[in-house]
Structure 1
Amino acid sequence: MDEGLLDSERAMVEFLNLVAAEPDIARVPVMVDSSKFAVIEAGLKCLQGKGVVNSISMKEGEEKFIADAQKVRRYGAAVVVMAFDEKGQADTLKRKTEICTRAYKILTDIVGFPPQDIIFDPNIFAVATGIEEHENYGVDFIEATRVIKRDLPHVHVSGGVSNLSFSFRGNEPVREAMHSVFLYHAIQAGMDMGIVNAGQLAVYGEIDPELRELCEDVVLNRRKDSTERLVELAEKFKGAAGKTQEKDAAWRDNTVEKRLEYALVNGVTDYVEADVEEARQRSTRPLDVIEGPLMTGMNVVGDLFGTGKMFLPQVVKSARVMKQAVAYLMPFMEADKSERSTAGKILLATVKGDVHDIGKNIVGVVLGCNNFEVIDLGVMTPCAKILEVAKKEKVDLIGLSGLITPSLDEMCFVASELEREGLDTPLLIGGATTSRVHTAVKINPNYRRGQA
């Protein structure tokens, strides 16, 4: 019920009233899911029996957490509690257990919540991304589950299982195997329930032995090269020949543009600086290399990833090639930049409540390469901070980013505050959850002065 253009409360009430009119369906427990607590409460009022709320957290502090929990208890529902506090989502074993323990004490000691009605979600994140910090995500969830079930009596543990395999989007055999392997170990640790498509779940004992072993290497972080080995095997399950293109030197005979494209798509860093230098020598200015062959190659990467022909760890390798190429060009661009005036000053921020910043960071790099001065406020940025810096730095444009649906409401709030403060700085909206329609219908009316 979190579609940006939907009247969520009305839709929730209408749907649950229809459910209540069917006796066979009304007996089934209902999970009420929304990022807006007003929508959740509207749903709870319509339930005939036991409900489950998804979800509450300490993201906005203890006071709101307690208030929401008290309302859930009043309606007699169980509750999913996310491992999320004022600092953001828990992504390590220590943070997961600390936040869940803190929430448990508040719910049982202050709110008087029945512990058997508490369902903790310690956050399942994607593994096999090619990023070292992500390698232990599976182990951390499993171990956090073990600690939670041992130290917090009577509670349940759940999680969104499909997040784990996002790196292999488009390769269902590998994703199904990863889910089965993960659940096999997580259930042994005490996991009670999970969000997973049961119709796309491989039987643990029937998974191809080689695939199962490599999935366990990844999920349990047993080898340094586990991601590379699983990526290589994944190609076989997609019917690819599985040959190692990097060792085939024939691509070196192509034009410099094609060589750079190949290096980006295949994550080959060996010849990047030499090829970038050749391209720079042929270009009018260093930035032309980025806007030309490098961006062309990254567009190919984006198309392949979008159609499921590349996986996230391969995209990470492509990003490393791009980063190395840009780093080589930076001294030349700085020298070129000193000869030209700045194109403007831009403030970028991921809004409060959102910890995602990959897209924002890419935009920042591109703008910086185009001679803009970029002020990046990072993630979880309060509205007051955005206004303060925008005024102090006299920025020419404000860019707001967000990936999750609740960010849409925060963007609307920031826009209204910009209007109230009398600013007229153009506002740029971006992120996976945003759209032209939502921006036009919901955000634009709040900030008439800032139309670009």
Structure 2
Amino acid sequence: MLRERLGKELLYFDGGMGTLLQERGLQPGELPETWNLLHAEEIREIHRKYIEAGSDIVLTNTFGANALKFHDDAYSLEEIVNAAVGHVKAAAEQAGNGRRIYTALDIGPTGKLLKPMGDLDFETAYEAYKEVMIYGEKAGADLIHIETMSDTYELKAAVLAAKENTSLPVFATTIFDERGKLLTGADVPSVVALLEGLRVDAFGINCGMGPEQMIPILEQITKYSSLPVIVKPNAGLPKQKNGQTYYDVSPEEFAEVMKKIVEMGAVVIGGCCGTTPDHIKAMADACRMIPIKPVEKKNFTMVSSYGQSVFLGTGSKIIGERINPTGKKRFKQALKEHDLDYILREGITQQDNGAHILDVNVGLPDIDEPALMKEVVQELQSVTSLPLQIDTVDVEAMEGALRIYNGKAMVNSVSGKQESMDKVFPLIQKYGGVVIGLALDENGIPADAEGRVQVAKKIIAEAAKYGIEKKDIVIDALAMTISSEPEGAKITLETLRRLRDEVGVCTVLGVSNISFGLPSRPIVNSIFYTMAMQNGLSVGIINPGSEDMMKAWYAFHALMALDSNCEKYIARYAQQPGTTPVQAAGGKHTMTLQSAIERGLKEEASSITAELAEQKDALDIINEELIPALNNVGEGFEKGTVFLPQLLMSAESAKSAFAVLKERMDQSGEVQEKKGKVILATVKGDIHDIGKNIVKVLLENYSFDVIDLGKDVPPEKVVETVLEQDVHLVGLSALMTTTVVSMEETIRQLREKAPDCLVMVGGAVLNQEYADMIGADFYGKDAMQSVHYAQKVFS
């Protein structure tokens, strides 16, 4: 019934829980979920007030209830979930007045970063979510609401756990910053692509901002998303008065902006941190008579990674073909020798040369393709933010890669053969993806364009049975070599044109197939590539290291007014003589240490460092190569051109290079001076150590001596360590509103017992004004700002 109401009428969520529990006596460090057992009536009263205020959907008090947090505690996870669901049900019966009130199992982040950025395995996160979701459905929850997610990878683990282990509707909301990015770099279209592919029932935003600040994000969501949209803002920004936290947007102000948000297209609205039953009542009263905008289907063909989305259909995009053993002796050798560094360099080279998507094919006889495909996909996603094309005929390898892929992948491929469609389409239905359909079936490759168009229509019709829309299908018109089939190019070009004009579907070609057996193949390839783009080619699988192909691509887009003011063409060729070659991707890839670190290539960084250490002093290498590389990446992170995964992988590469240098320095007696001691801690009551761990990695790479006290750290322990270790800088992190009071108490005790110690603070719930109010010396908006402050303190 909920699915039927979605998008047809305005539905109201409830508001904040944490701040209301604090008002009722929740202590710093006390787990809010335990109140389901210890203070049941308080929880029920909060639910009742929200229902009386107009909420249709009420969240259980289980935001932090997962197996990673409740594993050896006095209360079992199942006990907590059962009680939490029961409290909403009881409140609905008491206050619902006959209205249908939906119980939403509330699922928040684990507080950990997933590998390769952190130490949490994808399947471990999945299992943690799976357990609580099974308990939730069994207890009677009506839907699962996954919220406050800042990492698409963790979000995917949670959604899969919900979809694979329950029959409940799944809602998901993420926490964007003012630039429209998640913590780990995803933009709005990439999140939309991922969640539409995973088939959640509704998607939107919550936390992090007040309602006014969410409007630009909402504009992007409604532009790209075909899903019902959820918006749950905070009641503005947190502030402090007389030692109490409050938010600066009143119920009346909140309601006024929420009216605008409904008019823009939100169909499920509510509140997050700082909102109260008064906010929800004012919102419901103000919005009740506003007609909602119908949810419109969007026709964007999008693939995505953790950090970016690529749209097909405007101009022609490039799929780099070099991570594929076909016709590549050196690549086959790399696969057999498990030389992953070579594969990663191929990916980076193609990205540098202009690829938009990277093909990934690791199929060879006598190789465990499923295992290697998963490994290569994970490693590539640690060094490049380009979306990937999973290229395999092995269904096990295809599913394994799709499961752990962080984004919405391209999938190469399915054919018009019934057996192929029966195997591949269920995977696309489950995991999402843009699938390439080969224009061939049981009768082989049609000899004319009409036959290929008919196969394409058959593929599209069969896909529709699985709920896969035409926008998620790209048809391969098949380039047949003209040395054996003289009419091959003409038939392919006609097929492209008809697929574009008659069928309205995106197209792809493996372009170089056209020239097999001919001399000077680049001539034929580049001219045919231009003709194919002219006839509607959406994406070409080519070698971005071929200057002839890239000239064709840049010139075509300039000539067809697809390159604004010829900017890309000019940027590429203004400083180049017409014959300057691009380095062939298959050749030996030379790289500086600085570049290896910036790219996040750990093995490359280690080997280059070992070579350099034979010629230069270790300290010179650190100062001339390592630190400049980290500075470049840090500046890119602050500007928004480098994302968190790249930042952390660069830091790991610097660490591997430094390990080589440290060994040399130990042998030679050379000493690298530490710049100063810094204590880092996530404050008492908070188990989210993402921010702290990021800061730790960066500070260590800048030669600071970091004492990591971990998470849920009492103020007394911080003070004790400061005094024992004679530390002059402490970094405190908090992600939850309810634990900021612990941060304030820690600062108060430091001021009393270690007045010379400086304190820097950070976390999603903080801002400069709040940091000033609790007495911090510095507020770090991101990890790099913390590094800059530490450098200033110890300069």
Same fold (TM over 0.5): yes
Partner of 2:609: 276
| Residues 124 and 160, structure 1, Cα contact 8 Å, conserved in 2 | yes
1:156 aligned residue (143, 147, 164):
143
For 1:110-189, what aligned pairs fall within 5 Å after superposition? 113-114=91-92, 118-123=103-108, 130=116, 133-136=120-123, 139-140=126-127, 143-144=130-131, 147-160=134-147, 163-165=150-152, 166=182, 169=185, 171-182=187-198, 184=199
Question: C-alpha distance in 2, partners of 1:312/1:340?
Answer: 27
Letter in 2 for 1:430: V
| Residues 596 and 602, structure 2, Cα contact 8 Å, conserved in 1 | yes
Question: C-alpha distance in 2, partners of 1:235/1:309?
Answer: 22
Tell me, what secondary structure is at the counterpart of 1:348?
strand
1:201 aligned residue (225, 249, 261):
225
Partner of 1:426: 757
Question: C-alpha distance in 2, partners of 1:394/1:211?
Answer: 48
Question: C-alpha distance in 2, partners of 1:301/1:162?
Answer: 25
2:64 aligned residue (62, 69, 84):
84
Question: C-alpha distance in 2, partners of 1:339/1:141?
Answer: 44
CA positional deviation for 1:31: 3.2
CA positional deviation for 1:377: 0.7
Distance 1:128 1:304, change over 3 A: farther
Question: C-alpha distance in 2, partners of 1:366/1:310?
Answer: 15
Tell me, what secondary structure is at the counterpart of 1:324?
helix
In proportion to residue count, which structure has more helix?
Answer: 1
Unaligned 5+ segments in structure 2 are 1-9, 25-29, 52-57, 94-100, 153-181, 206-217, 228-296, 310-369, 390-407, 411-433, 435-538, 546-582, 778-792
For 1:255-404, what aligned pairs fall within 5 Å after superposition? 259-280=592-613, 285-286=618-619, 288-305=620-637, 309-310=641-642, 312-332=644-664, 345-361=677-693, 363-364=695-696, 373-404=705-736
Distance 1:65 1:330, change over 3 A: farther
Question: C-alpha distance in 1, partners of 2:46/2:193?
Answer: 36
Partner of 1:44: none
Question: C-alpha distance in 2, partners of 1:291/1:64?
Answer: 56
Partner of 1:32: 15
Partner of 1:24: none
| Residues 67 and 131, structure 2, Cα contact 8 Å, conserved in 1 | no
Question: C-alpha distance in 1, partners of 2:735/2:621?
Answer: 30
Larger Rg: 2
Question: C-alpha distance in 2, partners of 1:139/1:341?
Answer: 42
CA positional deviation for 1:177: 1.5
Question: C-alpha distance in 2, partners of 1:345/1:124?
Answer: 31
Moved more, 109-118 or 76-85: 109-118
Question: C-alpha distance in 2, partners of 1:266/1:342?
Answer: 26
Distance 1:339 1:145, change over 3 A: closer
1:308-365 deviations in Å (ceiling 9; x for gaps): 6555554454343223112222334556888688765443212123334455345545
Question: C-alpha distance in 2, partners of 1:246/1:417?
Answer: 61
> So what's the TM-score if we normalise by structure 1?
0.63
Letter in 2 for 1:231: P
Letter in 2 for 1:102: I
CA positional deviation for 1:130: 3.8
Identity of aligned residues (%): 18
Root mean square deviation of aligned Cα: 5.2
Question: C-alpha distance in 1, partners of 2:649/2:128?
Answer: 26
Partner of 1:75: 49
CA positional deviation for 1:180: 0.9
Partner of 2:77: 99
Letter in 1 for 2:661: L
> So what's the TM-score if we normalise by structure 2?
0.39
Question: C-alpha distance in 1, partners of 2:701/2:652?
Answer: 17
Moved more, 373-382 or 354-363: 354-363
Distance 1:117 1:172, change over 3 A: closer
Question: C-alpha distance in 2, partners of 1:344/1:111?
Answer: 55
Distance 1:251 1:306, change over 3 A: farther
Moved more, 424-433 or 202-211: 202-211
Unaligned 5+ segments in structure 1 are 1-26, 42-55, 188-192, 216-220, 446-451
Partner of 2:32: 58
Tell me, what secondary structure is at the counterpart of 2:146?
coil
Tell me, what secondary structure is at the counterpart of 1:272?
helix
CA positional deviation for 1:378: 0.9
1:44-89 deviations in Å (ceiling 9; x for gaps): xxxxxxxxxxxx9636766776475144145354344234259965
Question: C-alpha distance in 2, partners of 1:428/1:84?
Answer: 27
Q: In the alignment, does 2:416 pair up with 1:231?
A: no
Distance 1:30 1:388, change over 3 A: same
Tell me, what secondary structure is at the counterpart of 1:388?
helix
| Residues 678 and 730, structure 2, Cα contact 8 Å, conserved in 1 | yes
Letter in 2 for 1:400: L
Letter in 1 for 2:749: E
Distance 1:331 1:404, change over 3 A: farther
